[in-house]
Amino acid sequence: MIKGQQLVNALDNSEGVVFITEADGTIVFVNKTFEKVYGYNRDEVRGKKPSILKSGFHSRQFYDELWQTISAGKSWSGDMVNRTKSGEIVSEKTFISPVFSDDDSTITGYIAVKFNISERKKLKEQLEIREQLFEKLFENSPVGILILDDIKSEGEIIDFTVERANLKASVIFNRLSFIDQRLSSVMCNKNIAGLMKEHKTVQHGEEVYEWEDMCKGKVLEFKLFGLGRNKKCLLVTDISPKVKMESRLKESEARLRELNETKDKIFSIIAHDLRSPFQTIIGFASLLSDGMDSCSSTELKKMAAQISDVSEQTYKLLEDLLTWSKSQLGQLSPVPVKVNLKEIVEKVFCHLRQQADKKNISLINDISEADVAKADKDMVEFIVRNLVHNGVKFTTPGGEVRCFTEREDGYIRIRVKDTGIGIQPAKQKGIFSLSGNLSTKGTSEEAGTGLGLMLSREMVEMNNGRIAVESEPGKGSCFTVVLPEATF
């Protein structure tokens, strides 16, 4: 048998609050835990009723039912909210059992055991708050979230089942339901295992998989990480607007750079290319006016020829500048007509024959009457003139510039081939742009601006064509312009 003091010791060491009352509810014993929880000492509560602990939280009916149960000889258990001596509220799981006389005929008292559940309740409440918070974040997240279950084969993850997906994921993947779908059926790239292998990183000791991919016309950013117990979380962000913005920024940066180059080019043309021919013209003109009588007719002829050459170059430069300013202002719009290429080349040759003859360069027109392109006539003339002019400029005396065509699938290739000095491979790349095109002097020191090929490319493209160059230094160059063949 347990002795009385042993029982008191055992009850004192119990984690639960224990108190014993007489049949009318008068407290006869409370354990140490009671003293600790409620702040009353034993002597204070002995002889009092448990009602001293009432918090006012429960209704009268609650206490009536409790009392009816235990006074009928039954045990009662339930959650109870009480108040300590200092007024603090405690939540307790309470068990009350009646104590019977030896012959079980009457109730001699009651024994109540209570366990403080305030902490547990608080934790539960916190957990509920967190769950609600998670739900709110999950559903309102601007990022698509998918909760996944691993599907393994021979220990390796091969795919996932979608357990949950939020609203944003529905918007991104443009589908209403994900539940029990395989991730591979949702994604555009079906090779999930391959993606994971390729994009594995370790962050804070955990495996994380991050990659970008195109799906349904959008650029998506993915981040996959473990949640423990064969579960993973996949975050999906639609970065298309960001990518678009970046490409717009890049475009406007390139445009600004181009404008800056344009500005530099204009200043360099004004400072150099326009100034020096005028200096030459003014110099020769004053020589002519001052010494007309003392100069021999050969000298006079030479001076007049120089003035004519320089004026010719300056006129071409002004023409190029005018065309360029039109193209910069968006005023160049092609009017496609039937263009007889043989006629155009003949017209250009006529214009450049004198220059070619001076260098003893043959101009050969191998184009047939049947070669008719669909393009703007003035633009084609501008392009061909530039190419033939360059051919003459960069070919040494005795050489030739030949124009011929090839037809292919509704297109005509116009080739302008010279036997000149050729172009270094490094220079060929940027030859049709303003930035990559450095003008060099011709074989007879002819000056240039570096505008001709850039403008020619712009015009070719406006006429739905292409321009390209093949060249070997020392052997010559061949420029090809591809234009649509006229079918009307």
Q: By CB under 6 A, name the one of 418, 459, 463, 482 that touches ligand ADP.
A: 418
Question: Residues 170, 439, 443, 464: which binds ligand ADP (CB under 6 A)?
Answer: 439
- Nearest alpha carbon to residue 342 among 368, 361, 374: 368
* Torsion region of 23: left, alpha or beta (phi above 0 gives left; psi -120 to 50 gives alpha): alpha
User: Does the protein bind ligand ADP through residue 437 (CB under 6 A)?
Assistant: yes
Q: Which residues contact 113 (CB under 8 A, 6 or more apart)?
A: 14, 16, 17, 18, 94, 95, 96
**Counting Cβ atoms within 10 Å, is residue 344 exposed (0-12), middle (13-18) or buried (19+)?**
buried
**Is 285 in contact with 307 (CB distance < 8 Å)?**
yes
Tokens of 246: 């970046």
Q: Is 348 in the site for ligand ADP (CB under 6 A)?
A: no
Q: How far is the CB of 304 from ligand ADP (least distance, A)?
A: 24
Residue 420 binds to ligand ADP (criterion: CB under 6 A): yes
Q: Specify the residue, 144 or 452, whose C-beta has the smaller distance to ligand ADP.
A: 452
Give me the least distance between CB of 429 and ligand ADP, in Å please.
12
The smaller minimum CB distance to ligand ADP, of residues 372 and 416, is found at: 416
Question: CA 448 to CA 389: how far, in whole Å?
Answer: 11
380, 483 in Cβ contact below 8 A? yes
User: Rounded to the nearest whole angstrom, what is the least distance from the CB of residue 296 to ligand ADP in the complex?
Assistant: 34
- Smallest separation, CB 454 to ligand ADP (Å): 6
Output 97 or 428, the one with its CB closest to ligand ADP: 428
Asked if 215 contacts 187 with a C-beta cutoff of 8 angstroms, the reply is yes
For residue 18, give the nearest of 85, 119, 131, 114 by alpha carbon: 114
Shortest distance (Å) from residue 186 CB to ligand ADP:
53
Residue number closest to ligand ADP, CB atom = 448
Among 448, 459, 463, 481, binds ligand ADP (CB under 6 A): 448
- Least distance CB 395 / ligand ADP (angstroms): 7
Among 38, 110, 394, 404, binds ligand ADP (CB under 6 A): 394
Among positions 373-392, residues that touch ligand ADP (CB under 6 A) are: 386, 390-391
Residue 225 CB, nearest approach to ligand ADP (Å):
56
Residues 387, 481 contacting (CB under 8 angstroms): yes
Picking from 379, 381, 390, the residue whose alpha carbon sits closest to that of residue 342 is 381
Q: Given the structure tokens 């703007």, which residue do they identify? A: 376
Tell me which stretch binds ligand ADP (CB under 6 A): 155-163, 169-177, 342-350, 434-442. Answer: 434-442
The residues of the shown chain that bind ligand ADP, judged by CB under 6 A, are 386, 390-391, 394, 418, 420-421, 423, 431, 437, 439-440, 448-454, 477
